[in-house]
Homo-oligomer: A and B are copies of this chain.
């Protein structure tokens, strides 16, 4: 098996747990946040910077790489790791989420999905087999089964048909997958319907996957609904395999996800809001364009030891954003990723030291909760 989960410690008050995912590209300490490198680059950063910030694994998007530069080109380059100069683990999604997000540009059949490229309108067809082949060509450490991510809200009937198709597709992905040094994870769907999540969890975890994801969350539902789904779904997932909550990355969702026993997360949020000039800090969010920061010569976050906070003032950072200088995007991306990765590290430490609940309360007291 290409990846193996090792449980290190469980929290006594919550389902939070610390573990290690062993992979051919190195060990990942969990719970872990995976920065997103959609197009074979974590936007604005070099791989060395992503490492220095503390990233153990990154995520890249199959849909985007399939369209540009093409998975065959990446295979010729020696795989995604070599192509982009990153030697730690990479997880690729299946492309399903992006394809389903295309709305009227795609059509789903049992065989697969026909869609039009958002780049040039050209027509494409991706089946579970092809999504698997593409990810094998990319050579990611962890590949994901091609699933159907139902929208929110969606009817019970739609969610049920969708999860059942996802199970059939999962089997086809497993069948098509034959890369020994790559893990293939299954994805549990079922929307916000408890019995459907139970059905999906039972069907998917019955299959021989080395790890499992919860898909179809963080797609517009209220956060309490997401936490409710986690509450009844995570316990249905095997304890001896990694659990991955897809598309989640705000500090409060990460903390709640960890509390519910999730091991892996990914989200574009920290890097996307960084490029907008919004920083996550120990005192909550900072919008750097605000006039209040014009003559503020203190760091973005006085409690942060990232490169940005060690070397630059809010006044300079604001200047960079006002002047539309790329260095501003870089410095904010570095800070936000550092902040989230440090949050994960502090959670791991707190779990190991039996003080996770106290840590959670302290964090919320300072950062606030961003419920909606």
Contacts and interface: CB of A to CB of B under 8 A. Distances in A.
Given A39-B323, A68-B323, A83 B44 contact: no
Interface string A84-111: 1100000000000000000000000000
A319 B64 CA distance: 12
Nearest to A310: B85
A43 B328 CA distance: 10
Nearest to A325: B41
21 contacts: A39-B319, A39-B320, A40-B319, A41-B320, A43-B326, A44-B330, A46-B307, A68-B319, A69-B294, A69-B318, A69-B322, A73-B295, A76-B297, A77-B297, A77-B313, A77-B315, A77-B316, A83-B316, A83-B319, A326-B326, A326-B330
A111 B156 CA distance: 78
A31 to B, nearest CB: 28
Interface residues of A, number: 36
Closest 9 CB pairs of A and B: A69-B319, A39-B323, A44-B326, A41-B327, A85-B311, A41-B325, A83-B316, A77-B297, A326-B326
A84 B316 contact: yes
Contact of A329 (B76, B294, B319, B326): B326
A312 interface: yes
Interface in A330-360: 330
Nearest to A40: B319
A207 interface: no
Contacts of A316: 40, 77, 83-85
Of residues A41, A294, A318, A319, which shows the largest number of chain B Cβ atoms within 10 Å of its Cβ? A319
Interface of A: 39-41, 43-46, 64, 68-69, 73, 76-78, 83-85, 294-295, 297, 307, 311-313, 315-316, 318-320, 322-323, 325-327, 329-330
In the complex, the count of this chain's copies comes to: 2
Contacts of A294: 69, 73
Contacts of A77: 297, 313, 315-316
B315 A73 contact: yes
A78 B330 CA distance: 23
Contacts of A69: 294, 315, 318-319, 322-323
A326 B45 CA distance: 8
Given A73-B295, A83-B316, A316-B83, A46 B330 contact: yes
B73 A312 contact: no
A46 B44 CA distance: 12
A86 B313 CA distance: 13
A144 B307 CA distance: 33
B295 A39 contact: no
A153 to B, nearest CB: 33
Contacts of A319: 39-40, 68-69, 83
Name, among A69, A294, A307, A312, the residue most crowded by chain B CB atoms within 10 Å (CB to CB): A69
